[in-house]
Chain A
Amino acid sequence: GENVEQHPSTLSVQEGDSAVIKCTYSDSASNYFPWYKQELGKRPQLIIDIRSNVGEKKDQRIAVTLNKTAKHFSLHITETQPEDSAVYFCAAVGSNYKLTFGKGTLLTVNP
């Protein structure tokens, strides 16, 4: 089945800096890659996603890039704010249509 690796597990940045989280996947048939943000004790919420026929997608301060050849995708957050502090999960949907999550990245934005 699909295996998703996510790095780093923790990330601390100063307010206004950029944050980058990277993920790799194993199933070359995977074609959909969502990113979820989870605040402490809350449910995961979809923040951005990308499909395999697109290399990059941007939504205000967040962007996602996908390299299908290398089987990796990344989340970029610019001009970070304290409210961006949360756990971020990457995920991949493989040939079995199941959602496989990475282990998560705890992002802390220091004011």
Chain B
Amino acid sequence: DSGVTQTPKHLITATGQRVTLRCSPRSGDLSVYWYQQSLDQGLQFLIQYYNGEERAKGNILERFSAQQFPDLHSELNLSSLELGDSALYFCASSVGGGNAYNEQFFGPGTRLTVL
């Protein structure tokens, strides 16, 4: 157990819908990272938040957005869902995040299925 929690574990929804994935980082970690894992694209970095502020952006679609709250938990919002958005979404956390690399600890993931 990494100490990072994600809910829900599984999510099944229809095309065009909107969903919210939730992540709670390890105690003391200030950074949260979101990754998308699909069969053909591997693990793709989406976005990073550090202490409530967006720190880095990766291959995140405009239909997707995220935020980090004062209690440091983070939510990833996916809207206008398409079949291709079906994937495993991982959250990771680290102590720092920006001036140096700190080990990232991954949560158990949320499996999203879009029908």
Q: Which residues of A does B touch, CB under 8 Å?
A: 31-32, 34, 42-46, 49, 89, 93, 96-104
Contacts and interface: CB of A to CB of B under 8 A. Distances in A.
B30 to A, nearest CB: 14
B48 A43 contact: no
Interface of B: 2, 33, 42-45, 48, 56, 58, 90, 97-101, 103-104, 106-109
Contacts of A49: 103
Contacts of A89: 42-43
Contacts of B97: 97
Identify the 9 closest CB pairs spanning chains A and B, nearest first.
A43-B106, A101-B43, A103-B42, A93-B101, A32-B101, A44-B106, A97-B101, A43-B108, A104-B42
B98 A97 contact: yes
Contacts of A42: 108
B43 A46 contact: no
A43 B3 CA distance: 12
Given A43-B109, A97-B97, 4 more contacts: A46-B103, A89-B43, A98-B58, A104-B42
B102 to A, nearest CB: 9
B46 to A, nearest CB: 11
7 contacts: A31-B101, A45-B2, A46-B103, A49-B103, A93-B101, A97-B56, A99-B45
A32 to B, nearest CB: 5
Contacts of B42: 89, 101-104
Nearest to A101: B43
Contacts of B103: 34, 46, 49
A100 B90 CA distance: 14
A34 B10 CA distance: 28
A93 B104 CA distance: 11
A42 B109 CA distance: 8
A42 B90 CA distance: 10
Contacts of A102: 42
Nearest to B43: A101
B90 A44 contact: yes
